[in-house]
Amino acid sequence: MRSIGSVFPAVPRKIISSWFVAPWLLVGLGAASMWAQEPAAQSESGRSAVATAIAGGIAIDGVLDEPVWRNSPKIGELVQRIPNSGARPSERTEVTILYDKDNLYIGVMCYDSEPDKVLAAQMNRDSTMTTDDRVELLLDTFHDRSNAFYFATNPNGAFVDGLIFANGETNNDWDAIWNVRARRHSEGWSAEFAIPFKSLNFPPQGTVWGFNIARHIQRKLEEVRWTSPLFQTRFQQVSEAGQITNLEGIKQGLSLDARPFLAPRWIHRRPGGDDTLLGKAGLDLFYNITPNLRLTTTFNTDFGETEVDDRQINLTRFSIFFPEKRTFFLQDAGVFNFATTGISQPGGIPPNGAAIFPFFSRRIGIIDGQEVPIDYGVKLTGKVGRTEVGMLQVNTRETSLADDKNLLVGRVRQNFWKQSYIGAIVTAGNPDKPMDSSMIGADMRLATSNFLRSKQNFLVNAWGLKSNNQGVQDKNSAYGFGVAFPNDRYQAQLEWREIQQNFDPALGFVQRSNVRMLSVGASFNPRPPNQKFGVQQMFHDFFYRRFTRLDNGQVETWNMNITMFDWHLQSGDSVHSIMDLNPTYERLFEPFQIAPGVVLPAGEYRFTPVRFNFSSAQKRRIQGGFTLQLGNFWSGTAKALTTTLRYQLPPKFTISLSTNQTFATLPQGNFVARIFSSTIDYAVSPLLTFRNLIQYDNRSGNLGLQSRVRWTIAPGNDLFFIFGQGWIQEFDERGGVDFRVRDTRLATKLQYTFRF
């Protein structure tokens, strides 16, 4: 558990208003006020290493056999973080950093006394790799101790990359053009990274970058780092990184990438049997206006390669959240994040139930689950001094669902101190309604990783938002604050927010409104000395939340989460949730249909489900886990069972099966909510992967298959094949079950990147 205007075509006159220029002014004012660069900061950790300049001639094959690897200085020994903070590692790691005029090279030699026990099962791009031995890198190219590029790999040479911002928040969906190879051998395994300077942003005169590296030895549950080996310090805390020096004379070239693409698509519709063949060509452009300010444009955008959403069945009265998966919106998305998402819950504790995203990109180009064509999109993201800026403008085409729309988002965030900022956001446009809509907001974060000089994390955030929809004049605001002490042994947090009845950001997401929320919680998570009894860490949580209606002052919901027994074992197995309690109170002010034909009457409900959970170690070839929740449920009783089973045949084949089922018995009627899903992954290499996702839920009666092939011909050049097939569940007169074939889809996409 645990010169920008020249790229825009003419805008329809009805769209032109003060809101059209507001995001651009927001970005421009921030840029103008903070144009000068700050001097490079000193390394907080005190560790520093020299990057060695070379003339080139490195073959990226995972074998560190060129003489320059052997003869160049190493960065120094890594230090154990887990299981014994500050101890010497059980296995030796050597790291060498080189560079030439085009690339930064990082060579990592991971010695292992039992090389046959090195674990590696993942090959897919951006795999989580939590089951694998792995190496991860952090590059703070502006040395601002807040933002960084992230790269990682495992002994299979998997490509994993992302962005770190606000000293710990992450965007793992960012994809760069880079190269890595890994190789197993009799002494362990080695990895060779080649990261083009064209793929990074950095100040032209800067010669010092923040840097950190971590190695995970999965069978021992051991993590070693170059800097910041404290239990409570996450690797993504850029402020705790060391530094690399001597990066002289590096350049980005013209900093222009052009990526044209072709995307044909075939659709066979049932029951008529009609065939539709569509073809689309488009272009994505990426240009660094300055070394740290990037302009991204897309024309005739296609998202045919996007993975389908995971199925969800909503048993609550409130909206459920589906994450963004489309590449254009994911790239550099972190700058648009807002303080409403700034405090996360400990593992096993549900989210706060009052999620707010002032900007939610899935509101653009998707209406009622159907795709709306995007004619063009323009995005400006980056930094000017310590000011982070973001601007997005998208034009959607007229369809039967909505008129053509011009949608705008602007964001500015001024960083100060090491981990703090103050920011503002504005949106304009309504994607699916013929009305003027806008929203404006401000947020602030104060954070430190040395609270009271104790090397402990502490943060405070505050925010306010106001929507403006045509015809709505009052009760259209939301605001709140949060305080958190997120550390290894002790955790605590307090959060308060008010979401008024008419608050409705047209380009955002609001889970529930007309409420005032109070949430408070704490955790005590000791680590037994020397891992007595094979226990790595024990978790104990208490969280309480209350939602009060704003219109009548009555309590709508309160609940508690009490974790009494949650042990993570040194073997990697976890015994969670032995008799976890979840006392819950719900007041329905109107009838609620929880399932088809099952309607709960208005009134008060009290129930206390109990939860049990177990998960096996991820290092095993066969892994599994289950969560069982049972007890009172609304007006009756229910059992909820979630199971997972995963089989790995490293390094190429993985299959997983999962179920999520709720069996409810209520006076108003009985129901079963059921989701089955399975993934079957096969990787020829990290550059050629096959992924199959099969899903079924009994609420829609839909069985779906998506098969996705990704062939990376070379970094930046990809070919996708996506096959989709659906079936709908039908019952005959005798109660028999059959599945009728629905639409069949086949899509391909070829994209090729030209770098200048």
The tens digit of pLDDT for each residue in 120-155 reads: 989 999 988 988 999 999 999 989 888 899 999 999
Is the model's pLDDT at 249 over the cut of 70?
yes
509 close to 363: Cβ distance less than 8 angstroms: yes
Question: How many folded domains does the chain comprise?
Answer: 1
Q: At 301, is the pLDDT very low, low, confident or very high (cuts 50, 70, 90)?
A: confident
358 close to 508: Cβ distance less than 8 angstroms: yes
336 close to 411: Cβ distance less than 8 angstroms: yes
3-state secondary structure 386-449: CEEEEEEEEEECCCCCCCCEEEEEEEEEEEECCCEEEEEEEEECCCCCCCCEEEEEEEEEEEEC
Answer yes or no: is 172 within a domain.
yes
Q: Is the dihedral of CA 712, 714, 715, 718 positive or negative?
A: negative
Is the model's pLDDT at 23 over the cut of 90?
no
CATH of the domain at 130: 2.60.40.1190
Q: At 571, is the pLDDT very low, low, confident or very high (cuts 50, 70, 90)?
A: confident
Query: How much is the pLDDT for 29?
Result: 41
Is the model's pLDDT at 241 over the cut of 90?
yes
Query: How much is the pLDDT for 529?
Result: 83
Query: How much is the pLDDT for 44?
Result: 52
Answer yes or no: is 337 within a domain.
no
DSSP letter at 715?
T
Query: How much is the pLDDT for 2?
Result: 52
Query: How much is the pLDDT for 34?
Result: 36
User: Percent of the chain beyond pLDDT 90?
Assistant: 68
Is the model's pLDDT at 33 over the cut of 70?
no
Averaged confidence pLDDT in the chain: 89
Structure tokens at 174: 């960012």
Neighbours of 72 (CB within 10 A): 18
Answer yes or no: is 167 within a domain.
yes
What is the layout of strands, in order, in the sheet containing 103-111?
Answer: 52-53, 93-99, 103-111, 188-196, 179-185
Instruction: Give the model confidence (pLDDT) of 172-224 as tens digits.
Output: 878 899 999 999 999 999 999 999 999 998 888 889 999 999 999 999 999 99
Contacts of 626 (CB under 8 A, 6+ apart): 613, 614, 641, 642, 643, 644
Answer yes or no: is 742 within a domain.
no
Answer yes or no: is 651 within a domain.
no
Is the model's pLDDT at 321 over the cut of 90?
no
Is the model's pLDDT at 531 over the cut of 70?
no
Tell me what the mean pLDDT of segment 348-371 comes to.
90
Query: How much is the pLDDT for 711?
Result: 96
Answer yes or no: is 141 within a domain.
yes
Q: How far is CA 403 from the centre of its chain?
A: 31
**Cα(313)–Cα(640) distance, rounded to whole angstroms?**
13
Q: At 383, is the pLDDT very low, low, confident or very high (cuts 50, 70, 90)?
A: confident
User: Percent of the chain beyond pLDDT 70?
Assistant: 94
Looking at the DSSP assignment, which residues form a beta bridge with residue 418? none
Among the listed ranges 436-445, 516-525, 729-738, which one has the minimum average pLDDT value? 729-738
The winner for highest mean pLDDT among 55-59, 273-277, 572-576, 584-588 is: 584-588
Q: At 28, is the pLDDT very low, low, confident or very high (cuts 50, 70, 90)?
A: very low
Tell me what the mean pLDDT of segment 441-465 comes to.
94
Query: How much is the pLDDT for 36?
Result: 33
Q: How far is CA 461 from the centre of its chain?
A: 20
Tell me what the mean pLDDT of segment 330-339 comes to.
88
Burial class (CB in 10 A: 0-12, 13-18, 19+), 41: middle
Query: How much is the pLDDT for 3?
Result: 34
Among the listed ranges 32-41, 79-88, 535-544, which one has the minimum average pLDDT value? 32-41
Q: At 26, is the pLDDT very low, low, confident or very high (cuts 50, 70, 90)?
A: very low
Q: Residue 746 — left, alpha, or beta (φ > 0 → left; ψ -120 to 50 → alpha)?
A: beta
Query: How much is the pLDDT for 265?
Result: 92
Answer yes or no: is 238 within a domain.
yes
Query: How much is the pLDDT for 38?
Result: 36
Q: At 428, is the pLDDT very low, low, confident or very high (cuts 50, 70, 90)?
A: very high
Query: How much is the pLDDT for 63?
Result: 95
Instruction: Give the model confidence (pLDDT) of 655-676 as tens digits.
Output: 999 999 999 999 999 999 999 9
Query: How much is the pLDDT for 593?
Result: 97
Answer yes or no: is 111 within a domain.
yes
Q: Residue 652 — left, alpha, or beta (φ > 0 → left; ψ -120 to 50 → alpha)?
A: alpha
- Short-list 119, 511, 496, CA closest to 318: 511
Residue range of the domain that includes 147: 48-245
Q: At 330, is the pLDDT very low, low, confident or very high (cuts 50, 70, 90)?
A: confident
Tell me what the mean pLDDT of segment 617-645 comes to.
93
**Cα(411)–Cα(684) distance, rounded to whole angstroms?**
42
Report angle CA 199, 202, 208 to the nearest 5 degrees: 120
